[in-house]
Amino acid sequence: MINESVLLESRTLRTSVLERTEALDKVKALSLLPDGLHVTTAMVATFYEVAETAIRQLVQRHRDELAGNGMAVLRGSELRDFESDNLSLSKRRSLTIYSRRTVLNVGMLLRDSEVARQVRTHLLDSEYEVRTRPVDNSIHRLRRDEFDERIDSRITDVLGKTVVPMLNVLIETSGEQRHELISLREDVQQIQQRLVEHDLQLSRLQRGQDVKALTGVIGTIDAMTWKEFEQHVAGLLRRDGCTDVELYGRHGGDRGVDITARTADGRVVAVQCKNFAPFRHVLSGEMQKFLGASKVLRQADVALYVATCAFTRESLAIAALGGVTAVHRGLLEAWSAGVRLQVLR
């Protein structure tokens, strides 16, 4: 099993386990801002039981990595909108906010914190459990090429997430064996590349398309274009039994509604889709516009405002009064992962 200290040294290994934010909850409760998605620098420091200066110094050293994993610095109108919904107004010029992924990322970098050490331990325990879980006995029923693809994927995963990161750490700390270790790492990476190419060839033959890298649910959604996001939501509606699903597109005369459908029991569904940045909020004016489009123009029985971010308090109040279901970032993640929306049942 990998020692938890390896996470401190290998960015590749840290990136490979960033979706396992449940490791935070196994150690202690993480208090979130009212949007249910973010925390401040002070809140991160409180969680890890260190001084705020320790978090700020860590951010300075690893800003690119943390920014790529959910940290954002808000200024100007974005800061005013965010603070009006989450914090008491102040005269600060900027505010750094962190997602749960970023908080986990901090825990994998923070050396002088017992809480961070426990998070790393839980994180690697979970990863080890997944890697050592017995293989399903039904695998012998797979066709030979499917079996090869499974094996290629598992070996590639182990090489990329475990072997290469461990070699990187050893190379950085070794003396006499440095050249031998570098040569070994190059051999491993060549094997990994060949396995990836083989896996892609099999996948193209079987499915007629390239294989996309496996990522977390919300990470996959964040990478979508607006059109892909609308198609994703349409697919969720179909999965949950809706029929007559129709997409209007950004320039298709949607009149404030991106998707219409019917539930299994015949109710009319109207949907607005917004793939905003995670730190943005759906504002009250945007909710009012959709309320009029869905309830007045479309006369929808079910109105869904689906967004990749949070909603302001005012927009949620308007949604509640008008009978609109606000599908925020957290609910979207659960819906995408298989949970059925209550309003569609």
Q: At 262, which helix (H) or strand (E)?
A: strand 259-262
Mean pLDDT for the chain overall: 78
Cα dihedral sign for 38, 40, 42, 45?
positive
CA distances from 243 to 59, 84, 234, 273, 335 (A): 48, 40, 10, 18, 18
Average pLDDT over every residue of 223-250: 89
C-alpha span between 26 and 123 (Å, rounded) = 9
Listed in order, the ranges of the chain carrying CATH 3.40.1350.10 are: 218-344
52-63 tens-digit pLDDT: 999 999 999 999
Higher pLDDT, 125 or 295: 295
pLDDT value at 39 more than 60: yes
Residue 268 has a pLDDT of 94
Residue 284 has a pLDDT of 87
How many other C-beta atoms can be found within 10 angstroms of the C-beta atom of residue 338?
9
Using DSSP bridges, classify how beta strands 310-311 and 281-282 pair: parallel, antiparallel or unpaired: parallel
The class of domain 218-344 in CATH terms is: alpha beta
Residue percentage of the chain with pLDDT more than 90: 30
Residue 162 has a pLDDT of 58
pLDDT value at 79 more than 50: yes
pLDDT value at 187 more than 60: yes
pLDDT value at 19 more than 50: yes
pLDDT value at 143 more than 60: no
Residue 126 has a pLDDT of 67
Average pLDDT over every residue of 264-282: 90
> Residue 91 in 3-state DSSP?
coil
Q: Which of 32, 34, 35 is nearest to 44 (CA)?
A: 32
How many other C-beta atoms can be found within 10 angstroms of the C-beta atom of residue 264?
11
The pTM (predicted TM-score) of the whole model is 0.45
CA distances from 172 to 3, 108, 178 (A): 16, 18, 8
CA distances from 286 to 297, 320, 325 (A): 16, 14, 14
DSSP string, 278-319: TT-EE-HHHHHHHHIIIIIIS--SEEEEEESSEE-HHHHHHH
Q: Which of 281, 274, 232 is nearest to 257 (CA)?
A: 274
Residue 285 has a pLDDT of 86
35 pLDDT tier (thresholds 50, 70, 90): confident
150-176 tens-digit pLDDT: 444 556 555 555 565 666 666 666 666
Higher pLDDT, 36 or 44: 44
Instruction: Name residues whose C-beta falls within 8 Å of residue 176's C-beta, 6 or more positions apart in sequence.
Output: none
Residue 3 has a pLDDT of 59
Range among 28-32, 183-187, 247-251 rated most confident: 28-32
Residue 300 has a pLDDT of 92
